[in-house]
Structure 1
Amino acid sequence: MDPPDTKPDLSLDFFPIHGSAGPPSMPMPTSASMSNSLQLSMGNGEGNVSPNREPNSRQHGSVHSGNGNNNLNTLLQMAGTQLQLMGHSENSSSSNNTMHMMSAAPKREYSPLGNLSRMKRSRDDEGSPVIPQQQARQVYRPSSPSIRTSTPPMSPHHSNNSSQVNQNGHQFLHQNIPLNMHMSMSPPYSSELPSQTSPQSSIHKPVPSSQGPQGQRPSNHNSHTDSSPLQTFHFSSHASAFHEPSSSCPDLATRRAAVREWGNQPLSVADPDLWDIMEKEKQRQWKGIELIASENFVCQAVIEALGSHLTNKYSEGLPGARYYGGNEYIDQIESMCCQRALTAFHLEPEKWGVNVQPYSCTSANFAVYTALLIPKDRIMGLDSPSGGHLSHGYYTSSGKKVSGASIFFESFPYKVNPHTGYIDYEKLEEKALDFRPKILICGGSSYPREWDYGRFRQIADKCGAVLMCDMAHISGLVAAQECVSPFDYCDIVTSTTHKGLRGPRGGIIFYRRGPKPRKRGPSLYQADDSGNYEFEERINFAVFPSLQGGPHNNHIAALAVAFKQVATPDYKAYMQQVKRNAQALVSALLKRNCRLVTGGTDNHLLLWDLRPLGLTGNRYEKVCEMCHITVNKNAVFGDSGAMSPGGVRIGTPAMTSRGCVEDDFEFIAEFLFKAAQIASTVLREHGKLQKDFLKGLMNNKEILELRASVEKFASQFEMPGFDVSTMKYNN
């Protein structure tokens, strides 16, 4: 008498093979439950399952329990991506317990747990198929699994000509199982054959037919004998499953070699067209004079870290709290970078925190807005023509909102005094008290003078604003303590990492932490009255997941290299030379009666007003570019539009990185002045239309002569980051 029906256990045990020891035993289903769950009807010969079949009815095509002399050994074997059903029979008769075969479903890959779920859902009122376990096993691998793409009709008879025999004389039955029982895992796995029949395995299982769609057996059909007791199948992670390519797979080594070859080709081989363009860019940097204030040259160590294998890893989140695994060393790198950032700017970790993940300073600024504001809250920054940055909420005089900050938040600019070029702090305070911004921003992109952070602090406290500094352009001077530090006054400080810091392109956010001084800005949406700064959690959450995905680990590693260099005495000497070179350039241009905004500079950059020469910044920039000098057009106060600004911005960090000193900038000043003379001459001779001006520059003898002089001057200086002698174009 069979025990009561029970639901089978669908748990699957994964274990390595060690010697001859078997896996732990798995609960076995009762014969009644298995018999009830595996009734399969022949129907009209089309292989349909009858939904009205009674549990123990013995109709044609059903599979039922046989006598105790019948043995069924069934093994699920992984081969490629298919799972096969195998068995053998002793003293069995084909007249009873006939195994009906069915071709496999289309070859697909499934996770084992997902397939177990499908198996369970496929039986509403019956028990699901169970995969029992066996202690003693031996490894078996089929030579070639059969692959079919349809479910053919059931067959009442089949031959056993293709049966395979093991060492004990057992005949192994090979057959693909139906789709609802199909479980596939990524190969290789090993399965093992039972050495003896489990006493509990007296349950017979229906086996699908091997006939084709028209009832014909395919050419690769493996015949089977009668059913035998159900036996054990295990997925195994044993190392022996990973074997070398054999004669059955002769092209495996070739395909693996092709993958390795693709993954280890140098750029010159993998993409010679791109490599050639990059070599030309090397030549341009080497033979040119780089004077864009926001550009610099990085060292070889930074380039190595930036182009490293760290770009392969995803690391969403923060150190110790990632959304991906395998970040042990990535956490160490980012933690090291944060520690070095605080050290480089002489900050105490108890009072300041840092996030090094922003992709740019604009991203960093917007992360601060997102963290502390809600849409339509108010921000206040320096107007772009006065030297501010677009990300501080710039919009045109016509009201067009240019930056995302001006689109999502209400922004109102403060400006410089039109006569002096300095920030008008009196009007700034008046506007701030009227506008009442939530965030007051100091810092800019083309302001050549010191910032009065103490005055900003007073104004921010009066209007109840958080004081934020964008020190992107002067961060190198701040780290070298060659200018006033915003950290003494501001609540939040952002910066780029590639200008004066000579690191990779990216952004960074510093924020105050710990106890908050009395009357120091508002408590924005504070959840408690602890009196501590609430920036850290908000800013980190704004960076990820609010605005960014995974950080660029290669960039963070390269930034760690740069911060290590920033903390050295050599870097301080470098920034001191940057300032001296800027002063030398100012003096040389003033001697040539050039008009400079504010009359000079306190930092690394200067702003040359070209309007007295009748020039615009974009035309002068074009002449300089043809002479192999790079500057950038820049708006000056009073400009009517950004497309034709009245000035150019010039900086000294890049050429200082190449080894230029004050005397060298005397030559550079002469080159700049000569380019202005050429531009004025072409404008006078060819007219003010842009197409006529450009026509006058073509094959201009003066431009060719100046270019030759510039290249001769620049090529005498070595290039940081790469060896000129190994360049393709080094002459």
Structure 2
Amino acid sequence: MAMAMALRRLSASIDKPLRPFFNAPSLYYMSSLPNEAVYEKEKPGVTWPKQLNAPLETVDPEIADIIELEKARQWKGLELIPSENFTSVSVMQAVGSIMTNKYSEGYPGARYYGGNEYIDMAETLCQKRALEAFRLDPEKWGVNVQPLSGSPSNFQVYTALLKPHDRIMALDLPHGGHLSHGYQTDTKKISAVSIFFETMPYRLNENTGYIDYDQLEKSATLFRPKLIVAGASAYARLYDYARIRKVCDKQKAIMLADMAHISGLVAASVIPSPFEYADVVTTTTHKSLRGPRGAMIFFRKGVKGINKQGKEVLYDYEDKINQAVFPGLQGGPHNHTITGLAVALKQATTPEYKAYQEQVLSNCSKFAQTLAAKGYELVSGGTENHLVLVNLKNKGIDGSRVEKVLEAVHIAANKNTVPGDVSAMVPGGIRMGTPALTSRGFVEEDFVKVAEYFDAAVNLAVKIKAETTGFLQASIPSYFTLYLCLLPYACYSTYVASMIFFFFEVPVFNTFVNIVMGIRSSEGKS
């Protein structure tokens, strides 16, 4: 029905009516060519059109099965990773469309290939909707929607506006920052950003869990950065953008706001926007924004100020950033992703979307309150956005062990560093968020139950640690063996295992392991 309506609208706008794209009985593509060309009989030896039009289940049943398994995993489990979400069917339809077929190096109106009139329409509409979603004046802001993902978009900004070895300040990774902001250790430059630029972290006040803005300002005075990043991947509080703007002005530094995690909340106006203060804003498009996997770079344009001679000074970000994206660091954009993003941005301006984001915040607040009531230490003491960061050190357990126990019962969360950690592989915290489950319709009372599940998993992890030795080194192989044993019994045996996890002691769980191993062994002999 929708396709028919779209074709009718297209047909009404041109002189020559279009026929459907597919001829259902033969599955041949159709076009506006004469009928004799469209319905020409199959030439001898020309067999590949059949493969092009065959469904995935026929062409590649292995991949089809993997997709179904992942679909089942997402449906059966509880998704608590704050950087993940469930995008809409309409977005997936756009991403899976024929827009993937076209090459379009360049920008709308200035492509290196022909035949891009409709690609230009889609990208221009996406740009327009991006500015509308964040309530930006197109005379003062521009946007590039071609970046492939978040980390490249940040690197594109650095290469556009900085020289090699210029200085960057950003939140330290163990304190909630992100790799793409230039993380390095005392002995190794982990991120490529730290290879090409000089980086210095700012950190949290470990007593409060909030960003230490006073120390940030002192460090900036000594380090004199050319760019300061205001953004995080595991910070449960709101950024003081005005304070960072003040530091940037003092140092004549560029302010880059990375709102990858919170852009959906910003679009819905349920938390403060960085656009009032930042020079450049980057974001991914698939987290709280709930679009396809991609990124955007917003940049100021127009008049920056008046110089001493009384002449207008203009922002020069637009050409530099566009040049850095293409041809600097990318070739042809992913037109199917840009098209899907346009759909997501349209959804982001609806009343339903605002209600969703309000519920994300309410759910996260209730989740944090319930965890705190159960004795969990939350970094910063709570949350003001979509995530909570739990410091497990007072429970005598690390995030890696808890993550594995949660995964065994189909709860996806992720281990995360907390202030004071020395290892990113065995960190002391767990990061959880509410966007994905809120997309599935969860409300406050549901997150009370989720907190109970989390508490049970932590208690089990503590018991396992107490009753075993060398868990990480010796037990994980056996643990994964168990998991593989359970796969043929995914629904029933995993449910039984989870009940045993929650209600019995570890020795009973070990007995269950032995029983399952025995079943698998006997199956192998039969």
TM-score, length of structure 2 as denominator length? 0.83
The equivalent position to 1:686 in structure 2, one of 468, 486, 493, is: 468
1:580-601 Cα deviation digits (max 9, x unpaired): 0001111111111011101110
Per the TM alignment, residue 614 of structure 1 is displaced from its structure 2 partner at its CA by 1.9
Give 2:402's aligned residue: 620
The equivalent position to 1:640 in structure 2, one of 422, 441, 460, is: 422
1:598-655 Cα deviation digits (max 9, x unpaired): 1110000010111122222111111111110000111111100211111010000000
Check 1:329–1:598 CA distance in 2 against 1; reply closer, same or farther (3 A cut): same
The equivalent position to 1:657 in structure 2, one of 409, 434, 439, is: 439
Distance (Å, rounded) in 2 between the aligned partners of 1:337 and 1:245: 39
Per the TM alignment, residue 658 of structure 1 is displaced from its structure 2 partner at its CA by 0.3
Check 1:483–1:289 CA distance in 2 against 1; reply closer, same or farther (3 A cut): same
1:86-485 paired onto structure 2 within 5 Å: 253-256=43-46, 258-396=47-185, 398-485=186-273
Distance (Å, rounded) in 1 between the aligned partners of 2:306 and 2:365: 41
Per the TM alignment, residue 244 of structure 1 is displaced from its structure 2 partner at its CA by 9.9
Give 2:4's aligned residue: none
What secondary structure, in the 3-state scheme, does the structure 2 residue paired with 1:608 have? strand
Give 1:572's aligned residue: 354
Check 1:620–1:703 CA distance in 2 against 1; reply closer, same or farther (3 A cut): farther
Gaps of 5+ in 2: 1-33, 487-492, 502-526
Check 1:302–1:708 CA distance in 2 against 1; reply closer, same or farther (3 A cut): farther
Per the TM alignment, residue 259 of structure 1 is displaced from its structure 2 partner at its CA by 1.9
What secondary structure, in the 3-state scheme, does the structure 2 residue paired with 1:255 have? coil
Distance (Å, rounded) in 1 between the aligned partners of 2:240 and 2:39: 71
What secondary structure, in the 3-state scheme, does the structure 1 residue paired with 2:470 have? coil
Check 1:703–1:300 CA distance in 2 against 1; reply closer, same or farther (3 A cut): closer
2:383 is equivalent to residue 595 of structure 1? no
Q: Which amino acid aligns with 1:498?
A: H
1:297–1:502 contact (8 Å) kept in structure 2: yes
1:365–1:494 contact (8 Å) kept in structure 2: yes
1:386–1:415 contact (8 Å) kept in structure 2: yes
Give 1:674's aligned residue: 456
Distance (Å, rounded) in 1 between the aligned partners of 2:407 and 2:142: 42
What secondary structure, in the 3-state scheme, does the structure 2 residue paired with 1:381 have? strand
1:397-423 Cα deviation digits (max 9, x unpaired): x23111111010000111110111111
Per the TM alignment, residue 480 of structure 1 is displaced from its structure 2 partner at its CA by 0.7
Q: Which amino acid aligns with 1:630?
A: A
1:623–1:697 contact (8 Å) kept in structure 2: no
Per the TM alignment, residue 490 of structure 1 is displaced from its structure 2 partner at its CA by 0.5
1:423-572 paired onto structure 2 within 5 Å: 423-517=211-305, 530-572=312-354
What secondary structure, in the 3-state scheme, does the structure 1 residue paired with 2:289 have? coil
Check 1:601–1:573 CA distance in 2 against 1; reply closer, same or farther (3 A cut): same
1:543-602 Cα deviation digits (max 9, x unpaired): 000000100000000000000000111100000000000011111111110111011100
1:662-703 Cα deviation digits (max 9, x unpaired): 011111001111010111111111123413343468769997
> Stretches of 4+ moved more than 6 A in 1?
241-246, 700-703
1:616–1:644 contact (8 Å) kept in structure 2: yes
Q: Which amino acid aligns with 1:253?
A: K
1:172-227 Cα deviation digits (max 9, x unpaired): xxxxxxxxxxxxxxxxxxxxxxxxxxxxxxxxxxxxxxxxxxxxxxxxxxxxxxxx
Structure with bigger RCO (C-alpha 8 Å, 6+ apart): 2
CA RMSD of aligned residues (A): 2.2
Check 1:470–1:706 CA distance in 2 against 1; reply closer, same or farther (3 A cut): farther
Give 2:517's aligned residue: none
Q: Which amino acid aligns with 1:417?
A: N
2:305–2:312 contact (8 Å) kept in structure 1: no
Q: Which amino acid aligns with 1:423?
A: I
Distance (Å, rounded) in 2 between the aligned partners of 1:269 and 1:376: 53
2:176–2:234 contact (8 Å) kept in structure 1: yes
Distance (Å, rounded) in 1 between the aligned partners of 2:396 and 2:252: 45
Per the TM alignment, residue 254 of structure 1 is displaced from its structure 2 partner at its CA by 3.6
Check 1:472–1:245 CA distance in 2 against 1; reply closer, same or farther (3 A cut): closer
Percentage identity across paired residues of the two chains = 52
What secondary structure, in the 3-state scheme, does the structure 1 residue paired with 2:45 have? helix
Q: Which amino acid aligns with 1:554?
A: H
1:506-542 Cα deviation digits (max 9, x unpaired): 11000000100369xxxxxxxxx75010000000000
* Count, aligned residues: 455
The equivalent position to 1:609 in structure 2, one of 365, 385, 391, is: 391
Per the TM alignment, residue 433 of structure 1 is displaced from its structure 2 partner at its CA by 1.1
Higher relative helix content:
2
1:69-89 Cα deviation digits (max 9, x unpaired): xxxxxxxxxxxxxxxxxxxxx
